[in-house]
Amino acid sequence: MDTIVALATPLGRSGIGVIRLSGPDVLTIARAITGDDDFNPEPRYSTLKKIQDSNREIEEALFVYFKSPASYTGEDVIEISCHGSPVLLRQIIDMCLKAGARLAEAGEYTLRALANGKLDLAQAEAVRDLIDANSIAMTRQAIRQLRGEFSHQLQPVKDELLNDIVVLESALEFVEDDLPETQSAKIRERLERLAGKLRKLAATFSAGRLLREGIRVALVGRPNVGKSSIFNAMIGQEAAIVTEIPGTTRDQLKESFTIESIPVSLIDTAGLRETEDRVESIGVARSRRAMADADVVVAVMDGSEDLTQEDREILEESRDLNRIIVINKDDLFDAPVGPKEFENETVVITSAKTGHGLQKLEEAIIEPYRGEVSETRGFVVSDARHHDLLERAADEIEASIELLDQRMSEEIILVGLHNAIRFLGEITGETTTEDMLTRVFETFCIGK
């Protein structure tokens, strides 16, 4: 193993910048950059020490040495806390490189921790998720996964599955005896329960996806009804251009924020209308796609005017979607035209100008999701990779149950069960291929 180095804090000016080294040569490198061949920092204590380049002091920094195996990676690790000057940090990293280190790849520290059994793959992914989280709710889920909750839930399923595999395999060895009816009924019952458990866990992904990506909300409507004004008011900044000229928004804008700590991803779209303008028409096509992909469609109407043909087309297009109807520009009208037409629908009357009704709109957006992502809810699967593997494992088990019902030979029944074990193993990393690990760790940041 070589020794790797990277900046663990973001690139840029800051109070403190932390450089992290991991590998067998960390002490040698620390001695080289401090110019002190006897430098022997006590493990897990902070040691203040000068960093010197050809006898010239360039920094005084804090060194913390974690001796293998009691470190994040399981290897010898040294963390150096310096002043957060990008120039200085670059220089110290260069010195480490000259002293024999190599720049770390994305996620390489965590990859080493995985290789040394410090965490399993699902926990390693939780580290990434924790860093990438956009909401408190997501950080909580990531912490649960990091503490091994997911792996703990999977372990008994894997153990039981292995038990059944052993029973079926031993039946294979004694060819004369078919599996007795009672035993096969018991296996069937157990397999059904296991498949059910996996499906139940997989089903939590609908909430998990919300936590990770937020509720996707698309503001749609004809030009000039006030979509961009509502967008700006909800995110609390003037991100979208607002003018009285119809067709101002030609490309869509996306912002993430939270409503009552539930993550929301709000999309402002180009107004839906027939247009000759090429750029605008691409924007309109995007709006349609955003509408189709959204969890919630907010269809905005201008309450100071009668509904137009364009409004009616949008209402028709979004009819089967999960939608909220907003009657905007409340400051300009006394009695809006719309509501009579929207019985049994969620209608919110707003004014982007005065802010009236916007809180009601926020509440209407998250209302159906409150229970799904509530605090009291247990662990949820938030990673598409995990969700896919859980479903595939359940599919395999159910296929085996069918073969068992058809009284197929144990050999054939076993194929699906072995596959199921392999898929579950891919979640925690026991049966993951090199290729897959590369793909997972590509999504990490450098220095983690």
Residues binding ligand GDP (CB under 6 A): 221, 223-229, 242-244, 248-249, 271, 328-329, 331-332, 351-353
Give whichever of 34 and 249 is closer to ligand GDP, judged by the CB atom. Answer: 249
323: helix, coil or strand?
strand
Give whichever of 49 and 329 is closer to ligand GDP, judged by the CB atom. Answer: 329
228 touches Mg ion (CB under 5 A): yes
Q: Answer with the entry of Mg ion, ligand GDP, none that 226 interacts with (C-beta below 5 to 8 A by kind).
A: ligand GDP
Give whichever of 107 and 283 is closer to ligand GDP, judged by the CB atom. Answer: 283
Q: Answer with the entry of Mg ion, ligand GDP, none that 162 interacts with (C-beta below 5 to 8 A by kind).
A: none
Q: How far is the CB of 217 from ligand GDP (least distance, A)?
A: 15
Q: Answer with the entry of ligand GDP, Mg ion, none that 281 interacts with (C-beta below 5 to 8 A by kind).
A: none
Give whichever of 237 and 438 is closer to ligand GDP, judged by the CB atom. Answer: 237
Q: Between helices 86-98 and 26-34, what is the axis angle to 10°?
A: 120
Cβ proximity of 204 and 380 under 8 Å = yes
Amino acid at site 262:
I
Stretch that binds Mg ion, among 93-101, 187-195, 220-228, 405-413 (CB under 5 A): 220-228
Amino acid at site 265:
S
Q: How far is the CB of 302 from ligand GDP (least distance, A)?
A: 8
ω into residue 180 within 30 of 0, thus cis?
no
Considering only 123, 135, 249, 351, the residue that binds Mg ion (CB under 5 A) is: 249
Residues in contact with 75: Cβ distance below 8 Å, sequence separation at least 6, in sequence order:
1, 22, 23, 24, 26, 68, 69, 112, 116
Distance, CA of 214 to CA of 211 (rounded, Å): 5
Burial tier of 118 (Cβ tally within 10 Å: 0-12, 13-18, 19+): middle
Q: Answer with the entry of ligand GDP, Mg ion, none that 353 interacts with (C-beta below 5 to 8 A by kind).
A: ligand GDP
Please name every residue paired with 267 in a beta bridge, in sequence order, or none if there are none: 218, 254
Give whichever of 101 and 300 is closer to ligand GDP, judged by the CB atom. Answer: 300
Distance, CA of 434 to CA of 416 (rounded, Å): 23
Q: How far is the CB of 446 from Mg ion (least distance, A)?
A: 38
Residues that bind Mg ion (CB under 5 A): 227-228, 249
